Structure 1
Amino acid sequence: MKLVQPEGGCIDDVFHTSYRIDQHDCIYAVGDTWQSVAEQNRVGDSCGLGTLQGKSVFEQFSDAETRMIYAKLFERVRASGQAVCFRIHCDALHLVRILETRILPLSDKHLEVGFRVVSEQERDPAVVIELCGLEKPFITMCSYCGNLKNRDGEWQPLEEEISASDLFNVRDLPSISHGICADCKENFLMQLAAYRMRA
């Protein structure tokens, strides 16, 4: 993960997909395209505004590390009054998607977290399932580097684990839950410390 300034060259020129949180980190609004993106990722029912409104945004992250990272980012933006941008994976089983994420300060310590698509590439969902198995209702992916947690709980690049000859088809596909691997967590904390020193 790398903290960056907003860049050009993205598929989307503006941050259409977004959500807003209040000073207590509770979701109170989502952008116009939020629902359609949730449906593309096959989590539409669980991620609509009716389900999310009033809930802590931290309930939406699957692991403590990701919650800690975002808590630090929110704290940083509120304290500085300046937006931060970084890139993450927001993949579906059938799609590798890189997003630019922007956390924007609003009045009364509210924040807007917006996303725009940098790149998308289709893939066969069976590749992911062969690596991670179907024992769990979801597959864990690092939001920052895109590595997957395999059956043994180890983070592995997908392409190192599976070749095309291993693919198979399944009827019911599990959802992808986004977390953060140890390497990205360490890298992020170092960058955040350096970012604070420059401010």
Structure 2
Amino acid sequence: MPDGPTLTHLLDQIDDAATDEKVSVQNILDQIGDRSIMPVVLAIALVLVSPISGIPGFSTLCAFVILMVMVQALMPHRSLWLPKVLRDRCVRSDRVHKAVTWLRKPAAWIDRHSHPRLRILTSGPLRWLTLVLCMLVPVMWPFMEFIPFLTSIGASAVALMSFGLLTRDGLYVIWGYGVVACLGTVILWALQAGT
């Protein structure tokens, strides 16, 4: 089990945020806390791994939020700041509940098989490399919305890397790198096929 926050606990917080007909980004931030930058990134990436990524425009919204959060993760901020236009964006609560339910079994498996290891990948220069990758991967999501659920692959990479950083488990960071490499290969192949 991880020493730090578990995916199951994070899913509980997301589920608890969806109490009204719609849940906003601010509702989720209120549950997780505005000082918890990496858990916020992980929470958004987790939701986007689920079929909820098929909602038009949702991937782009998540990309903007993660990009802004990651910029602040690279700076000495004490609390998270997002513009009101992003904090007020909403999605139907029933979709959030379905996404959380869909994610619970894989999250429980990951929680059971995570513990601090390969810590060199979660500290020092390699930690900064992972943070930069977590910021760069979402930049592609608005362009990938035309291919259904392709953004879920990118979101899984961000989720794996951010979870690895949170729990000091370098194995998940490596898996995140692998997903980024696979995604990059698919994109390059698609670009070459289109020319």
Fold conserved between structures, TM > 0.5: no
The higher radius of gyration belongs to 1
Query: Which has a greater percent of strand?
Result: 1
TM-score of the two chains, using structure 2 as the length reference: 0.30
Query: Which has a greater percent of helix?
Result: 2
